[in-house]
Amino acid sequence: MGLRPGWWGYEYTVLLITWLGWVSIYLVKSVLPPILPVLSSELGLSHAQAGLLETAYLIGYIVVKMPAGTLSDRYGPRRVLAASMLGYGAASAATMWARGFTDIFALRLLVGLFQGVHLPVANALLSDRFGDRQGRAIGFNESGPNVGNTLAFPLTVSILSVWSWRAAFLVLSLPAFALSGAALLLMREEPRKPKERGGEGNGIRDYWRMLLPFAVAHGVYNLMLRAAFTFTPSFLVEYRGMDVAAAGLLAAVMPLAGILAKVSSGFVAERAGRRASICGATTLSALFLASLVALPGGSYVAVNLVALGLTLYSFSPIIYASTTASLPSGLKATGLGAVTMFGNTVGAVSTTLVGALIDSYGYGFTFTSIAATTLAATALIFLTLKE
């Protein structure tokens, strides 16, 4: 105990494990987009099939959202988080032996199933541990996906150039196994809490009106994120004429910019308010996505991707912190699971639809349509979300 500085409370150990969990999750999750052009060429996949691989991930990610709270209550967040890390690491590593679309589809579904518990369980745990400081803690925690994204893109491209896309799945799954052991060793068992009820005792149903605008906001976030995350490398190759390596590296600037966006999101929300923060971010994200195809290429594309990263990644931590802060302790994981389940359902449907639209109408029409849809949804969020 003497090795730990006096200012370092146990809550920071929890934050470190959950943050590293996000980094590990996105090392595994983000291995696919940079190699998608090569993998699709080798296996003969269309854009729609490429979108289905993301859909497979999201199916697993979605179905476990609501049960995640129950699993955490029954087995404790320590065990649930450790088991999830072990599960998605194994599923991703097994992808190196995939022989075709069906194999990868099934394994990506398993990856999503094991990764889906992390968000509601980790953020509910941080909400309880940090209390009034949860906005900043969750904002920092949510920067983990961007760190994982930023590391995964150049690492995947490097592994691809030296070995193969199959080796990339194996290598980037290894941190998950180490982190699973660290979670079991460093985290404590949490005391069990009885479910808190609201109103007339209907539990989470009493809060559906409050949760609705957060769910819509998370749906918008997923619509934008899945399109940008999944198809930006292919967009840069096919629409802007870049080679695969350059496209993979340039696409990494978006999640890199998102690190700053997520860390600062809690401070921005404190000053501007959650409604202005969320709606401002969705509006700007729509404009920056549309400008990718509306404006000429060149060096502007890099600037555009940085701007899109700063706005797109900024509002998800505000959604999560606002949701957990509005719910009693026993309903935090379930409520957050409901909000994210809706958002991820939008993502699962939209990813395949976006791929099909690109196949039929091209990137210009598709990105512009997504931007217009986002602006319409933003108006609904603004009208229904209270400060």
> pLDDT tens digits for 105-136?
999 999 999 998 998 888 888 887 777 677 77
Residue 94: phi, psi to the nearest 5?
Answer: -70, -15
- Asked whether residue 2 is domain-assigned, the answer is no
Sign of CA dihedral 120, 126, 127, 128: positive
- Give the integer Cα–Cα distance in Å for 207 and 183: 32
Q: Does pTM top 0.95 for this prediction?
A: no
> pLDDT tens digits for 168-225?
999 999 999 999 999 999 888 876 655 544 443 446 677 778 888 999 999 999 898 8
- Asked whether residue 4 is domain-assigned, the answer is no
- Asked whether residue 97 is domain-assigned, the answer is yes
pLDDT of residue 198: 42
pLDDT of residue 127: 81
> pLDDT tens digits for 138-166?
888 888 887 887 788 788 888 988 888 88
Q: How many domains does the chain have?
A: 1
Tokens for 124? 């509910």
- Asked whether residue 264 is domain-assigned, the answer is yes
pLDDT of residue 193: 58
Sign of CA dihedral 225, 286, 277, 146: positive
Tokens for 97? 């032996």
> pLDDT tens digits for 51-62?
788 778 878 888
Domain range holding 230? 10-188+202-384
- Asked whether residue 86 is domain-assigned, the answer is yes
CATH of the domain at 114: 1.20.1250.20
- Asked whether residue 1 is domain-assigned, the answer is no
- Asked whether residue 297 is domain-assigned, the answer is yes
Tokens for 178? 């180490």
- Asked whether residue 47 is domain-assigned, the answer is yes
